[in-house]
A and B are shown apart, each in its own frame.
Chain A
Amino acid sequence: MRALDRKLLRDLWHLRGQVLAIAAVIMGGVATLVMSLSTYDSLVTTRDRFYAERRLADVFANLKRAPEPVAERLRELPGVERLETRVVAGVKLEVRDFSDPITGLMVSVPERGEPLLNALHLKRGRMVQPDSADEVVLADSFADAHGLEPGDTLAAIVKGKRRQLTVVGVAVSPEYIYQIAPGAMFPDFKRYGVLWAGRDALAAAYDMEGAFNDVALTLARDANVREVIDRVDAVLAGYGGTGAYARPDQLSNRFLAEELKQLQTTATLFPAIFLGIAAFLLDVVVSRLVALQREQVAILKAFGYSNLAVLAHYVKLVMGVVVIGVAAGVALGAWFGQGLSNVYTETTFRFPYLDFGVRPGVVLAALAISAAAAVSGTLYSVYRAARLAPAEGMRPETPTVYRATFIERIGLQRWFAAPTRMILRHIERRPVKSLLTVLGIACACGLMMVGNYQKGAIDFMVDVQFRQAAREDLSVSFIEPTSSKALHELAALPGVRAVEGFRDVPAVLRFENYRYRSAVYGIQPEGRLHRSLDRSLQPVSVPPGGVVLTDHLANEILHVRPGDVLTVEVLEGERRTVQVPVLGITQQYLGVSAYMRQESLNALLREGDVVSGAYLAIEPGAEESVYAKLHARPRVLGMVANASAVRSFYATIGEFVLFYNLVATLLAASIGFGVVYNSARIALSERGRELASLRVLGFTRGEIAYILLGELALLTLAAIPVGILVGVGLIGVLVLAFSSDLYRLPVVLAPDNIALGATVVVASALVSGLILWRRLGRLDLVAVLKTRE
């Protein structure tokens, strides 16, 4: 081995503390990248494979009822490749030992053979047998939430009559990866479930013999989606069709796409921030490390090593550190990524399997970014050292011209003893170095705040949504629009404190060439339960005659402003298209909505005082009896309880975000520690000789520790406020990046968020200080005497 390579290995070993700390910084950045991208890639790959394997349809349509021969007319439409008709019906379910309201969706499967489209992936048990009226296959999320297995039974309330169903299988469908009850905000595996039953049995139960109310189809090659949808709509118009829609509007797929988009944002933004900051810190730390080697650079040059050879030597040294950091980062990132993907598939998207993998490109990118950052730091320092004539380089850096600091000049010096003056002068003499140290520690502090920010934001969103806007305990939806007289019956139920009717209607909202498929909600203008909020989160009364939109819907999706006129295509009943003025903008963090006064919406639909559901406030403790009474009413289709919605939110999206945040926080902490420790350690290397000389002159270990650690403490304290600013800035970036139909993050700065950032930084400084304290005890005084200076 060449002497220089041997030097390299020895230097790496000698610097092992710092090598590990720098590697920790790289590891933090790289692991975030690998974790995020591998999770995203794996979910996308899995989704695509699952969709293809199970033949997810391209276009879906719901209608009231059409005789089976209509299917033939649909099949012959140009652009249609394969088509399957189904019977789909909402149902109330009862599971033993579970009293909360459960709603379900019954979907028919062919009596014989596999479904043509949207085929099921059976996890356990079997498909339903022909002519078996009470057999069902359950969605695995629902089955797992209740511990239901093939052989178990549950009850369904079909048209007011209770029917016993036997579970024969547990399955996953590409159509219902994401299952969400109508009107609900989040998936709730316990209170909403999809079940599949034989076509004949389902048709018999819902008067659909020889008929269908749901269509799924795939497109022929080169078919134009919009044209096919228009043709399907034309055929189904006479049968109560509510408008065919393509995959992007299919609920499960849309949520999946939205979630993946969020994840993609997470997967690019977090690593960009983490790796970016890690790269910056790496650059600073490495350049200081190499700067310490200035004398050795000069010796090598004096012997005739070329600048390039010297540079190559240090690049090799630094690459050694980079490789350790990247390897650890990739391993840790892949491990976390696997865990994250599992959390994802357990909580939100129930893929039956997961194609997990880390793309080599991701690893290469991580390596390239880290290497670039490290090498640029090296280049700079080696260049600086090599630029000097060797004679100059071999001398210690010319003693800097110290002078009285600003603080001393303004006359405060009598308050400071010599050691304190040394600290102040040192900081003031090296403003750039001090500034970089402060900035590095500040970045670490900011990162911690980012890693941990989303939890506070989610708490805040949930609070605004459920304690200020949607304050009802229960929202009840009726099977069909009903006279508001029904509300009196609800109000009369014992345990019900207040009732507010609402009218909602599915609709496509259009403005110029922007469109959004959603619903219009008619609510009470002076609602006390369900309210819309203005920008300062105060309840606002919806003005008569027009619509108010969530800010995100108005600004980002439809691009309308108050005063503009929106086109509303109602997807129910007469399917009218009407013009409605936009009257206001409301603040909402979760979901997007279009609100009108109920009476205005009724007028628009040319109907009387009609509601499609009601918001209820319930006496504490009376929930179960109210549920039971409502459950028994045939007109009640479904119920969503807010409290359980919040719980399920935390159990799904929450769990995922919290896992991600936990990991991000850990990685941020590793970066933070790496930076603080390195700053401290390098300070020791830079000043070791000076401190040893002081020891020789009779200073105690405590006194020199004060000089070294006092500086570290001062810089750390200065870094915390800067770090909070950095954190706020980074959070601002997050807020901008994370706005989607699903949710917009609010800018909230929880005190514990700031506290965590500061705590990690201070703790890192304390640990580093402790290590330095021990090292100061082993300072080699003899070496100082033996060599020059």
Chain B
Amino acid sequence: MTARTEAVFRAKGLTKTYRMGEVEVRALRGIDLDLGRGELVVLLGPSGSGKSTLLNILGGLDTPTSGEVRYLDHQLTGATESALTRFRREHVGFVFQFYNLIPSLTARENVAAVTEIAPSPMRPEEALGLVGLEARLDHFPAQLSGGEQQRVAIARAIAKNPAVLLCDEPTGALDSATGVVVLEALEKVNRELGTLTVLITHNVGIADMADRVIRLSDGQIAEIRSNPAKKPARSLAW
């Protein structure tokens, strides 16, 4: 395990069990993990291995069944509702696997809904420009293609200049050229602002731009691999 200078996230013994009547689904079964400042981490793993679950817990969107998570000096497990809200508002940018745009707001307004409550955001137009959507500012989600919706979701995440960016399959719906544009935007935010970035992907090629690659399998960490020969996003292709 590569010990980084300073851990931003420190997770210990995380488990998550979903109970549906008689059936129990153990999505996470004991995760220990440190994530350091400025790191770009790629999470790999087969479908259903618990990647989204882990990301959601890190971002304060969900609570683990047991174990604990710290963010810097904040204890996230057991934190109050309003503390979690403040944490998300001030520190975290999300890209959801299913985009989750607000259908009644345009692309620009979807971004604005986040920047309006963030302490030092970019302008919504600027964020949308970074993902190549300057021509689609006033389109509603229903008027955008799946990939365009995904890029709005990314713009929305980076627009607040967050300290942590959590992206669940940000390029899942994109062709490789557009995917590279998006990854470059994420890379730029990571490099210039030192944003800790966690990226879930099914695309092994993307792992080459990471500082570390973590592989989940059946709710457990199967492998953590450092990547000293990190490649720029521009050189990736799939």
Contacts and interface: CB of A to CB of B under 8 A. Distances in A.
Given A304-B85, A305-B85, A783-B142, A10 B104 contact: yes
Given A391-B61, A391-B62, A307 B81 contact: yes
A398 interface: yes
B117 A389 contact: no
Given A7-B113, A389-B62, A389-B63, A304 B90 contact: yes
B135 interface: no
Given A391-B61, A401-B20, A10 B105 contact: yes
Interface stretch (B95-103, B197-205, B228-236): B95-103
Counting contact residues on chain A (CB < 8 A from B), the size range is 20 to 34
A214 B207 CA distance: 111
A392 interface: yes
Contacts of B81: 307
Nearest to B141: A787
Interface in B61-88: 61-63, 81-82, 85-88
Interface string A412-430: 0000000000000000000
25 contacts: A3-B109, A3-B110, A3-B112, A4-B116, A6-B109, A7-B109, A301-B85, A302-B59, A302-B96, A303-B88, A303-B114, A304-B85, A305-B117, A307-B85, A389-B56, A389-B62, A389-B63, A390-B56, A390-B62, A390-B88, A398-B20, A401-B20, A401-B21, A786-B146, A788-B98
A309 to B, nearest CB: 8
A303 B109 contact: no
Given A304-B90, A307-B81, 20 more contacts: A3-B110, A3-B112, A4-B116, A6-B109, A14-B104, A299-B100, A303-B94, A303-B156, A304-B85, A305-B85, A305-B117, A306-B89, A307-B82, A307-B85, A389-B61, A389-B63, A390-B88, A391-B61, A394-B61, A401-B21
A394 B156 CA distance: 16
Interface in A766-789: 783, 786-788
Tell me which of B90, B96, B102, B109 has the highest count of chain A C-beta atoms within 10 A of its own C-beta.
B102
Contacts of A299: 100, 102
Nearest to B92: A304
B164 to A, nearest CB: 12
Chain A contact surface mostly: helix
A401 B20 CA distance: 9
Nearest to A789: B98
Contacts, number: 90
Contacts of A302: 59, 61, 88, 94, 96, 100
A482 B3 CA distance: 123
A516 B151 CA distance: 85
Contacts of B92: 304
Contacts of B100: 295, 298-299, 302, 394
Contacts of B85: 301, 304-307
Interface string A354-398: 000000000000000000000000000000000001111010001
Contacts of B98: 394, 787-788
A478 B188 CA distance: 110
Nearest to B145: A786
Interface string B145-176: 01000000000100000000000000000000
A11 interface: yes
A394 B96 CA distance: 9
Tell me which of A3, A10, A298, A786 has the highest count of chain B C-beta atoms within 10 A of its own C-beta.
A3
Tell me which of B85, B105, B112 has the highest count of chain A C-beta atoms within 10 A of its own C-beta.
B85
A606 interface: no
